[in-house]
Amino acid sequence: MSSTVVILGSPRKGNSEAIAMAIANEAKAKGNTIKEYRINSLKNIKGCQSCYGCKKAGKCVVKDDITPILDDMREADSIIVATPLYFGHATSQYRTVEDRFFGFLGGDFAPNIAAGKKVAIVVTCGTGLEGAQKTAAEIEGVFGGFFKMDVVGKIVKGGMMAPNAAESDAAIMAEAKAIGQKL
């Protein structure tokens, strides 16, 4: 059975989460197990401490509520990441987790997490579509560039101010389902 980890970077139950979960639910319907993490709900999280402990240990040595996400990502067959655009960037919640991916690079800076995992990326915004596309491309660079994973789908949407804008848009939900089929 394939497993999927979902990393939700919004503090609210809004558009990026609705799209990410539509992808995940489609993957679940075809048999994947799903583990989702809403970063904002985690109590004890730290950013990367730049201790370089990961370069000796082969994984991040900071122990907190992000640790299970990193462990599950190693085991997962696919990963869904979702973030709103805040001031032209991914949210601080998402970025906090992303910096901890440093532990997926070994002492030689080669990836020590399995290549080839499938990845879906979701970025939603108000009017800053260009910024959202740039942010999605940056996230793709992390997964596809650094970790040699296979980015199978990206959903980048503007006009997503009301929290239910995505889930009430049938075309967006259909796009999400199509990506879920690939995981």
Ligand X SMILES: Cc1cc2nc3c(=O)[nH]c(=O)nc-3n(C[C@H](O)[C@H](O)[C@H](O)COP(=O)(O)O)c2cc1C
Q: What angle do CA 173, 156, 83 make, to 5 degrees?
A: 95
**Closest-approach residue to ligand X (CB):** 14
125 contributes a contact to ligand X by CB under 6 A: yes
Strand partners, 82: 8, 122
Cα separation, 94 vs 96, in Å, equals 5
Q: Which of 4, 7, 10, 121 binds ligand X (CB under 6 A)?
A: 10
How many of the chain's residues bind ligand X (CB under 6 A)?
20
Q: Which of 6, 37, 84, 139 binds ligand X (CB under 6 A)?
A: 84
Mask for 23-62, x = binds ligand X (CB under 6 A): ----------------------------------------
Beta carbons of 138 and 98 less than 8 angstroms apart: no
Shortest separation between residue 163's beta carbon and ligand X, angstroms: 5
Shortest separation between residue 124's beta carbon and ligand X, angstroms: 3
163 contributes a contact to ligand X by CB under 6 A: yes
Q: What angle do CA 139, 27, 126 make, to 5 degrees?
A: 45
Taking the least distance from each CB to ligand X, the nearer of 70 and 160 is 160
- Residues of this chain that interact with ligand X (CB under 6 A) are 10, 12, 14-17, 84-88, 124-128, 131, 160-161, 163
